């Protein structure tokens, strides 16, 4: 093939291949070999090599390469809540419902959003005589798994059965406890019976369907080991696992995932013929990759932190389309409340008084990240500003630590208790994330001024989220972010029934181990209160308890910055848990 070698030949777009290169004209191949001088052959070779080096846009781009900062620990849609996995799966699946970029609840996999007004939802009485609700959904008629098997109520009933199993390891176990019955009306229609009349009764974005014809035999063989034996782990490229516009075609663990169009997708045909999602855990390397052209786009949902994005925009903004979107992304530090030091709320309060969050966000993020007083963003209508605040106050921090028995014998020394034990805490986060590492260094320095020793120990994201956090193996402090939907009830994070344990398959996301009967009661109440003013009052009390007891240390609410080539159109940031690839079929490349 002209001496170019198969790899270069294969990289050429079809419209630029000459007949003899495609192997379709032996006569032309013979003419090249015998009919041209050596000088002419070299000129032709050089010209073709130059064609190979042209930007893809020169012949029409049909491949997109996206950079994200983490690699998933698993690809199972219901096990482990990790943004990297959610980002990739958003292009390969569709939730039944989701909030759109305008924060409006819409159907994605269902046909019509059921409501009390249109009769799709109906109030009923549970078998125990309690108020309940029945909600009926119809799955998109043409929705099929990648192997052609229809997405059906068989999948609904199977997923529900697995989610209710105590050892399945599903993250949102409470949903499956409340949905006490599922009725298959026909192959595409089902009714979910819920034992509470939740104000978000028709929002079931976390009910991620599984292919029963693939997963049932695996789960039934050994439910306790299902998380390790699922096809999403052992056979990730099986097209039968996906039903979105794309499917996972290749996985190189720790490196990248290749997506290719799903032939059975029922919706708008995606523009791109291939999407490669590369995990670049070092954000400095991420920036170098987009500047070199190795990647086209940095995912705002999981890319550069705002400080890095601001610096990038100042240097290279003219070359890219840069969109910054404030949203429901809560950066915080989960505290392991089983740690003897952190069981004392005075220590937890001192930790917060001892750090200058406002100064830190101004210094590191140019003021673009709003300091948080709790887990509810001020963009959300249920937010209240009337809660206990913790401004930077080293004297108040010192007084609380003295009161808790942690004494500093001399300025600059680490505090000790009556037993001579040092006030020392381990601080973990995701390795390679430059922004988080800078935040850790600032906090470590400020805590040292207060006599608190902090030891930084970071891990790759797939280890940190895949095991350390989800199995509550962090010794003291774990810094990461929660991404939520509007008015997201924090049951999974704060209700005592959601504490992950070995005997519940590490289900739930209450990684701090927080337990408060009043908080449990308020969470139970706020979910079923349909009157907005009454619900708002409950929300305010939830926020006050959170501020008083500090199961986690609030840091700031993140703004996500999407860095796109100017030719990439149709990417619409949402600012919430509905990540941008949920609308990937609308993305195009326009010169």
CATH no. for 328-558? 3.10.105.10
- Dist. CA 463–CA 79, nearest whole Å: 14
pLDDT at 11 > cutoff 70:
no
For residue 563, give the H/E element and its range.
strand 552-565
In this structure, CATH architecture of domain 63-69+248-324+560-589: 3-Layer(aba) Sandwich (3.40)
The per-residue pLDDT for range 341-381, each reduced to its tens digit, is 999 999 999 999 999 999 998 888 877 888 999 999 988 99
- Dist. CA 22–CA 202, nearest whole Å: 54
135 contact partners, CB below 8 Å, separation of at least 6 = 114, 120, 121, 191, 192, 194, 201, 202
Determine the number of helices (DSSP H) and then strands (DSSP E) in the chain.
Answer: 20, 19
- Dist. CA 1–CA 142, nearest whole Å: 44
User: Given strand 121-125, what is the order of strands in its sheet?
Assistant: 121-125, 131-138, 189-194, 179-184
The per-residue pLDDT for range 103-118, each reduced to its tens digit, is 899 999 999 999 999 9
CB-CB contact of 374 with 554 (8 Å): yes
Comparing 6 with 147, which gets the higher pLDDT? 147
**Among the listed residues 486, 483, 516, 487, the one whose alpha carbon sits nearest the alpha carbon of residue 499:** 516
In this structure, what are the phi and psi dihedrals at residue 43, rounded to the nearest 5 degrees? Answer: -65, -40
For residue 98, give the H/E element and its range.
strand 97-99
CB-CB contact of 67 with 299 (8 Å): yes
CB-CB contact of 554 with 330 (8 Å): yes
**Among the listed residues 460, 428, 333, 478, the one whose alpha carbon sits nearest the alpha carbon of residue 70:** 460
Q: How confident is the model at residue 13 (pLDDT cuts 50, 70, 90)?
A: very low
DSSP-derived secondary structure for 396-447: HHHHHHHHTT-B-SSTTSPPB-TT--B-EEEEE-BTT-HHHHHHHHHHHHHH
Inter-CA distances, 127 with 8, 199, 294, Å: 67, 21, 59
The per-residue pLDDT for range 34-46, each reduced to its tens digit, is 555 666 656 555 5
CB-CB contact of 499 with 522 (8 Å): no
The per-residue pLDDT for range 411-436, each reduced to its tens digit, is 889 999 999 999 999 999 999 888 89
Q: In this structure, what token pair is assigned to residue 445?
A: 């320095």
Q: Looking at beta carbons, which pairs linking 50-55 to residues 24 or more positions away fall under 8 Å?
A: 51/12, 51/16, 52/4, 52/8, 52/11, 52/12, 55/293
Q: What is the mean pLDDT of residues 282-307?
A: 88
Q: What is the mean pLDDT of residues 383-399?
A: 96
pLDDT at 124 > cutoff 60:
yes
> H-type helices in 293-425, by residue range?
306-316, 345-353, 357-365, 394-403
Domain with CATH 3.40.190.10 in the chain: 63-69+248-324+560-589
Q: What is the mean pLDDT of residues 246-255?
A: 96
- Dist. CA 89–CA 40, nearest whole Å: 50
- Dist. CA 454–CA 384, nearest whole Å: 32
**Among the listed residues 68, 10, 120, the one whose alpha carbon sits nearest the alpha carbon of residue 579:** 68
Residue 470 burial (10 A CB sphere; 0-12, 13-18, 19+): buried
Q: What is the mean pLDDT of the chain?
A: 88
CB-CB contact of 233 with 175 (8 Å): no
Domain with CATH 3.90.76.10 in the chain: 94-232
Q: What is the mean pLDDT of residues 146-171?
A: 93
Inter-CA distances, 211 with 158, 180, 359, 365, Å: 8, 21, 50, 43
- Dist. CA 542–CA 386, nearest whole Å: 12
Residue 222 burial (10 A CB sphere; 0-12, 13-18, 19+): exposed
CB-CB contact of 116 with 202 (8 Å): no
The per-residue pLDDT for range 523-570, each reduced to its tens digit, is 999 988 889 999 999 999 999 999 999 999 999 998 888 999 999 999
| Assigned CATH topology for domain 94-232 | Dipeptide-binding Protein; domain 1 (3.90.76)
Domain with CATH 3.10.105.10 in the chain: 328-558
Query: What does the angle CA 49 – CA 52 – CA 56 come to, to the nearest 5 degrees?
Result: 160
- Dist. CA 341–CA 338, nearest whole Å: 9
């Amino acid at each position: 093939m002209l001496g170019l070698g198969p790899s270069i030949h294969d990289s050429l777009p079809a419209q630029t291949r000459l007949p003899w290169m495609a192997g379709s004209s032996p006569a032309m191949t013979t003419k090249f070999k015998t009919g041209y001088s050596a000088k002419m052959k070299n000129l032709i070779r050089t010209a073709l090599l130059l064609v190979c080096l042209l930007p893809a846009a020169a012949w029409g781009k049909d491949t997109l390469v996206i950079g994200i900062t983490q690699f998933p620990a698993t690809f199972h849609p219901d096990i482990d809540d990790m943004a990297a996995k959610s980002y990739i799966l958003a292009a390969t699946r569709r939730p039944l419902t989701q909030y759109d970029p305008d924060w409006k609840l819409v159907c994605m996999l269902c046909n019509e959003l059921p409501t009390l007004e249109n009769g799709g939802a109906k109030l009923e009485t549970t078998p125990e005589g309690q108020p309940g609700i029945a909600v009926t959904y119809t799955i998109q008629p043409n929705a099929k798994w990648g192997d052609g098997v229809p997405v059906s109520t068989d999948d609904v009933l199977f997923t529900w059965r697995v989610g209710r199993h105590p050892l399945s390891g599903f993250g949102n176990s409470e949903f499956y406890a409340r949905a006490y019955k599922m009725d298959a009306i026909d192959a595409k229609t089902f009714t979910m019976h819920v034992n509470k009349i939740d104000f978000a009764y028709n929002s079931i974005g976390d009910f991620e369907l599984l292919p029963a014809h693939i997963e049932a035999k695996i789960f039934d063989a050994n439910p306790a080991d299902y998380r390790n034996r699922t096809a999403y782990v052992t056979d990730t490229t099986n097209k039968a696992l996906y039903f979105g516009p794309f499917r996972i075609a290749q996985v190189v663990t720790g490196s990248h995932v290749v997506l290719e169009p799903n032939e059975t997708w029922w919706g708008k045909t995606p523009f791109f013929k291939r999407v490669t999602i590369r995990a670049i855990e070092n954000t400095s390397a991420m920036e170098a990759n987009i500047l070199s052209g190795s990647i086209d786009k940095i995912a705002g949902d999981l890319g550069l932190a705002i400080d890095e994005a601001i610096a990038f925009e100042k240097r290279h903004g003219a070359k890219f389309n840069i969109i910054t979107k404030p949203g429901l992304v809560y950066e915080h530090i989960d505290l392991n409340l089983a740690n003897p030091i952190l069981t004392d709320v005075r220590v937890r309060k001192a930790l917060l008084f001892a750090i200058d969050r406002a100064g830190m966000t101004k210094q590191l993020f140019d003021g673009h990240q709003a300091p948080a007083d709790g887990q509810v963003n001020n963009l959300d209508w249920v937010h209240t500003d009337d809660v206990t605040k913790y401004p930077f106050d080293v004297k108040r921090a010192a007084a609380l630590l003295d009161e808790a028995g942690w004494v500093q014998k001399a300025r600059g020394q680490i505090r000790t208790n009556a037993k001579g034990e040092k006030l020392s805490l381990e601080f973990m986060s995701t390795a390679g994330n430059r922004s988080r590492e800078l935040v850790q260094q600032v906090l470590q320095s400020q805590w040292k001024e207060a006599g608190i020793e902090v030891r930084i120990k970071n891990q790759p994201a797939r280890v940190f989220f895949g095991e350390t956090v989800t199995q509550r193996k962090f010794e003291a402090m774990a810094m990461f972010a929660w991404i939520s939907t509007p008015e997201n009830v924090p049951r999974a994070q704060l209700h005592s029934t959601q504490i992950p344990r070995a005997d519940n398959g590490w289900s739930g996301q209450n990684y701090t181990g927080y337990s408060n009967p009043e908080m449990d009661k308020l969470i139970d109440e706020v979910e079923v209160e349909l009157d907005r003013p009454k619900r708002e009052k409950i929300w305010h009390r939830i926020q006050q308890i959170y501020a008083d007891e500090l199961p986690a240390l609030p840091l700031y609410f993140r703004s996500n910055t999407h860095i796109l080539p100017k030719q990439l159109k149709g990417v619409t940031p949402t600012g919430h848990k509905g990540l941008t690839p949920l609308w990937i079929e609308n993305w195009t490349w326009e010169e």
